[in-house]
Chains A and B, each alone.
Chain A
C-alpha cells in the first residue's frame, strides 16, 4: 500500500502519483491497523478503477485535469478528483470564460475514503458513499435521501442570531460515514465540483453550496459597504470555505450553466450581482450603480458588481435577479 506524503491520501500499490496534488506516492512503512479508524487517519482502500493499472514503464504518463489540475492515469476517462471528462477539450469562450465541465451521468469522484457519484444531468444529484471517519456538511434543505443508519449531527456556528436575521442557515447539518446520502437542489443547473487544495480560500454566494467535506473549514464573511449589501445580490454574508493542511471537496450547484474566469492582478469585469457564484478570496467585489434615465419617467437604476483580480470568478447563467430600484 502507498500514500501521498503531501496530503496523506491512501492509494493502492499500483498507483504512482497522487490524484489530487500530483505528489509521488511512497510505500506505507507499517501495515494498516485493524482497529477502528479515527478522523484524518489514512486508511487504505481499493477505490474502483476506471482502467487497468499502468505498467511500471509508462507510470509517468498522466493526464492533468483541465478543470482542477489533478493528475490522472492516462487511461482514465474522467477526473478522479472532480469528475470532469478528460477526453474533451476545455471549452473557453473568446472572452476568456471557461465553461464548467459537464460531468457525465454516473461519474464517480473520490475524496478521502469516500466516493461521490453524480447522477442525472438536468438537475444533478450528488450521491455520497461515505467511508468510516469521513463526514460532509450541508444545508439541510438540499438533502434528497439517505440510508437510515447514516449518522447525522449539527455543526455549531458562531453568530447564529446574525445569520438568522440575514436569512442564512443558522444550522448546518453533518452526515458521518459509513453510509449513503444524496443531495440535490430544486432547479436546473450544474454541479460544480471544486477540489480545494491545502491553503485555499473560496468565497461562495450564500445558499449556493451543496456540500463540503469535513476537512474544509466553514465560516462566513460579512459583506462590507451598504451599497454592496443592498444591491450586491448576496445579502449581508457570503460563505467562506478554507482548507488548512488537508485538501477538501466542495460541491456547489449553479443555476443554468456555470462559467469561470481567471482575472489577472488589477483586471476587472462587471457582472450582474445575481450571477455571482464563487470567487477566490483574493478577488474583490464592489457594486457600482448606473442610472438609466429617459425623460419624464425617470428610468431605472442598474447595479453591476465590479470584480477585480487576481483570482478566479465563477458565474451562473440563470442568475437570481434582484430588484434594481
Chain B
C-alpha cells in the first residue's frame, strides 16, 4: 500500500500501522503505552497524527494504513495535543521528578515531555495519595507514579499468560491491582519481572538496582540465561564489574524477551559464599593455596591412577558448563586419564532415554519450541512447567486465551490443571499403559492419521486397569488431541527419568498416530551437549581412588554428596562453598555463569553463545582454563573440537 507520510511516499504491506509505517520511513512518533513486544493498545494518545480527511487526530499505534493515506506526524496541532496529553498525565498522580528513581533519562514519561520542550505543567496535580506496594520480594509498585498505560497488565497476560495484574474501576479511578486486589507479594505473581521491564515510569521498580544510578551509566552484555535448558536471551546490565540487573532480550529468537524468576532475579540475589582461592587439605583443614600448589597436589595423586580401569579416576562435570569445557573435560578424562566413569551432573536423567532412542531411530524425533507456540492443542505430560522451564510454561499459558486446548497428565496435581481442558491424574508408574491406551483409543475411534504399528486391541482395558482412570476420560483426551490440526506434546522428567524407555516409545508412537510434534524439556543449560558427548551415564564410584568434580556454579545434590563421601581423593572445582567443597581434598575456585564464555545447546538444539559479563577475581578460573592447566601438568593434551564432536551422535532434536 502506498502512503504519504510528511510528503514522503512509502510502500508498506497491508495491516501495517501508521506508527510502524512512519518509523520505517524514518519519522519518530512519541509513544508511551505502545511497546514493541505487546499488542497495540491506543491508551495514552501520545502518538496522535493528522490523517488527511479524518475529522480528528488519530492514534497512529492502532490505525492501520489505507492505500493513498496522507499522514502528517508533526504540526502545531499535533504538538499541542501531545503537550495536553502529557499535562493530563503529569497532573493525575505524583510525578515530581527530583525524587523518582527513573528521573534523568530512564523515564519515558519525562523523556517525552522534554522532547516536546515542555518547561512546566499548565495544570496543577490533584494531590491524591496512592499506596506503595512493597510486599513483593523483588520489586516495588509505587501507584503514585503509575500512568495507567497498562503495559504491565498486557505483558502479564499477553507475554506470560499469568493474568495476575489487572485494572479495577474506570477512568480517573482506574487502579492497578494484583488478582482481586491483594498485595503483590501475596498474589499469583510468578516473579518473572516482565512488568518491571516494560514499565515506562518509576511505578514498578526493581528492588536490587533501584536508586543505584541511571541506566545510561551501565554496560550491557547480551548473552543467554543458564538457568535451564531453554536458553533465553538476556541482557546483563553491569556497573563497576557488578551485576546491576538482568533483563530479557526482546530480540532473542528463543524467548522474545520473556524470562522467568530464575533468569531475572535469582542470579542477582545469589547468597552462597564464593570460593575465591584454591584450597588444599592439610590434616583436617582446608588451607588456602596457590594454583601451582593445588595442581601439584592433584597431579601427584592422579598420576598413579592413569589408565586404571574401575579403580582410577571418576570424573563429573556440571551441565551448566559451556560445550568447550565439557568437550575438554570429556577428552582429558576419557582419553588422557583412560577413565571409564566420565559423566555429567545430570547423569542422563533427562537425556539418557531420548538420546538412546535417537540412536535407535537414527534420526531426531523432537521438534522446535515454535511448534508449541503454533499448536492448537497441547499435551503436557510428565513435567511441571510452573516450576521448571517456566518460559515454556509461559508460551503454553499465553496462547490458551486464543482457544488453544491444554491437556495435563500428571500423577500429582499440576499447576496448569486449572487452565487445562482435561487433566488426568493416573496412578504412579502407569504412564506406558496410559499412553498405549490413548493410542488404542485413537485407533478404535478411527482418528488415527496413520496406521498403528503395534497391536492395540487390549491396551485401552489395560490402561483403565493400571491408571485407575475411566475409559471415557482416556477417550476424551484421545479425541481432543487427535482432532486437533496442530497438536504438540511437551514432556519431561516424568517420562525421561524412567528406568525403561517403554513409555517414551509409546509416546513417540502416539505422537505419530495423531500427527503431533514432540519436545522434551531436558535438564540444565547444556543438557543436550552433555548427551551428545555421552556424558549421560549414572555416576558409580566403586573402587575409584579419586574423583574430579567440576561443579561450576551448580548446587550439589545431597545424593551426590553421599555418593562421593568415601572417595579417597576428592577434587572439586566450584564457584560456591557447599557441603561438597567442605568434604573435598582439593577445592578449586570456578568462574560462575557470568564470568565465563562458551557455547550451549538448548532444548530445541539451538547452538548459542553465552558471553561473559563480569571479570572474575584473579584466582577464579574457568573450567576450560583449569582443564588446560591440569592437562599440561599431567603431560597430556586435549585434542579435537567441541563443534564437530557435537554432531557425531544422532541428537534427539536437530542441532543447528
- Whether chains A and B associate is no
Q: A residues touching B (Cβ–Cβ < 8 Å)?
A: none
